[in-house]
Structure 1
Amino acid sequence: MGFSWYPIQLSFFVATLATVSTLITSILAVRWLIGKNFKGKQIIETVIFLPLVLPPTVIGFLLIIVFGKNSPIGTIIEWLTGTTIIFTVPAAVIASSVIAFPLMYQSIKTGFLSVDHAIIDAAKVDGASNWQLLLWQYIPLSFRAILSGIVLSFTRAFGEFGATLMFAGNIPGHTQTIPTAIFFSIESGDLSSAWYYVIISILFSFVLLGFTNFTRAGR
């Protein structure tokens, strides 16, 4: 098999897109949920956190069911694009996003709940809309929590294996990421390539997590 830079480049690309998508969806989801009390709210949040406890292969299986050719979503995607999304780079992004979403959601929720309500009430008195509260109050005042969520989600997406392998596959030069490259390098007996990928993953994750701890210490 041999060492290749492609899995590294793809892992960064997938993790970046997954982080951006989870950041946007988490901000919207948290803003919608924290200010509401309704029947079913706990069920929704339980579903949000399921990827933290479910085996990644279960997530991969469910994604195949949801986006497969026989599903409504899969049928629409195939009608629009002429092909299935399974075993493609977008599939890797979706799998990583689903796995990383709970970490981003929890970080942003913690940040939003820590915002002083007196500040929010004062902004409301001044006539701020919900979108203005989100953009000019909640997000800036939750910056450190959001940054922590970005780092944690990125590293989680960067290292995602099980769901990605099932949903996006392991096609060298196409959908092969660092985790799948490590697995198949070991399986093929190419330990030197596996070591390269492992060392790169450890160093990168160490730097990101160290940066997170540094920003937290700077509070």
Structure 2
Amino acid sequence: MGETELSIILLSARVAFTAILCALVPAFAVAWLLARKQFPGKGVVQALVTLPLVLPPVVTGYGLLILFGSKGPLGQLFENLFGISFAFRWTGAALAAGVMAFPLLVRPIRLSLEAMDQGFGEAARTLGASRLTVFFTVTLPLALPGVIAGAVLGFAKALGEFGATITFVSNIPGETQTLSLAIYALLQSPSGDAAALRLIAIAVALALAAIVASEYLARRLTAGGRA
């Protein structure tokens, strides 16, 4: 593996890790809302959460470009308030990856919360525990299998994201050229087949490792919770 390929993998890991790190808390909040609350428009919220999975990724990327581009309302807001720029930057690649992975984060967490016996939390409340204490000592540990499964699968999705990323932040070597974009660029070159095959093999290995790790951790945590 050459230095260029290693830098592509490291950039992809950086983008995917940042995407999941930033999306995890909002995903948990949305999952908790959908699992525990009944409210008007709940079906609309569910549809919006699932939308990135069913929309063409190019459409999602174009939407991000309109909203978070250098001239977009949210892009200008983040630039002025936090000094964060998304257009043609690795941060934009992380944003696109996070949006595309978001449904895969929400669903397993929601299923864990729905399967949870709420009697444990109610018992803790009757013993004087605050809502915050109940969350960190009861709700979060019981939901952990779903959180881990969602985070690992979301990471794998973010690692392989292509359509929304190339539409939003283009394919810039060293800045936004993640694993999938590098493979695409190499396949356009007559002499890029060998390097593309190496990156494809790495992408397959990483995806399989993520899936296996997700299943293993979820089973271990579930077994530990039952013990």
TM-score by length of 2: 0.89
Name the structure 1 match of 2:67. Answer: 66
Q: Which runs of 5+ in 1 are unaligned?
A: none
Q: Residue 207 in 1 paired to residue 220 in 2?
A: no
Distance, in Å, in 2 between the alignment partners of 1:205 and 1:85 is 26
Partner of 1:40 in structure 2? 41
Letter of the 1:5 counterpart: L
Q: Contact 2:85/2:92 (CA < 8 Å) preserved in 1? A: no
CA contact (8 A) 1:86 1:167 kept: yes
State the identity %: 33
Letter in 2 for 1:145: G
- Let me know the Cα RMSD of the aligned residues: 1.9
Quote the offset at 1:82 in angstroms. 7.1
Which residues of 2 match residues 35-184 of structure 1 at below 5 A? 35-80=36-81, 84-184=85-185
Query: CA–CA distance in 1 between the matches of 2:69 and 2:57?
Result: 17
Contact map agreement 2:121 2:138 (CA 8 A) in 1: yes
State how far apart, in whole Å, the 2-side matches of 1:83 and 1:158 are.
Answer: 22
Segments ≥4 residues shifted beyond 6 Å: none
Relative to structure 1, the CA distance from residue 22 to residue 191 in structure 2 (aligned partners, 3 Å threshold; closer, same or farther) is: same
**Judging changes above 3 Å, is the alpha-carbon distance between structure 1 residues 17 and 84 closer, same or farther for their aligned structure 2 residues?**
closer
Task: Give the partner amino acid of 1:95.
Answer: A
Q: Is the 8 A contact 1:18 1:93 kept in 2?
A: yes
SS of equivalent residue, structure 1 residue 4:
helix
Tell me how far 1:216 sits from its aligned partner.
4.5
The 1-side partners of 2:108 and 2:51 are apart by 16
Query: Which residue in 1 is equivalent to 2:26?
Result: 25
User: C-alpha distance in 2, partners of 1:112/1:48?
Assistant: 17
Q: 1:165-212: CA deviations, max 9, x gaps?
A: 111211111111000000010011210110111011111111221222
Q: What SS is found at the alignment partner of 2:5?
A: coil
- The Cα offsets for residues 44-82 of structure 1, whole Å up to 9 and x where unpaired, read as 121011011111111100000111233322222344577
Mapped to 2, the partners of 1:101 and 1:116 lie a distance apart of 25
The residue identity in structure 2 corresponding to 1:191 is D
How many residues are matched? 218
**Larger mean Cα displacement after TM superposition, 199-208 or 96-105:** 199-208
| Deviation at residue 32 of structure 1 after TM alignment | 3.2
Question: What SS does structure 2 have at the residue aligned with 1:62?
Answer: helix
For 2:31, the aligned partner's letter is V
Q: Is the 8 A contact 1:182 1:194 kept in 2?
A: yes
State whether residues 31 and 134 of structure 1, in contact with CA within 8 Å, keep that contact through their aligned partners in structure 2: no
Distance 2:182 2:12 in 1: 10
From the superposition, tell whether residues 83 and 136 of structure 1 become closer, same or farther in structure 2 (CA, over 3 Å).
Answer: closer
Task: Give the secondary-structure state (helix, strand or coil) at the position aligned to 1:132.
Answer: helix
Contact 2:85–2:91 (CA<8 Å) still a contact in 1? no
TM-score normalised according to structure 1 size: 0.92
Give secondary structure in 2 for the equivalent of 1:86.
coil
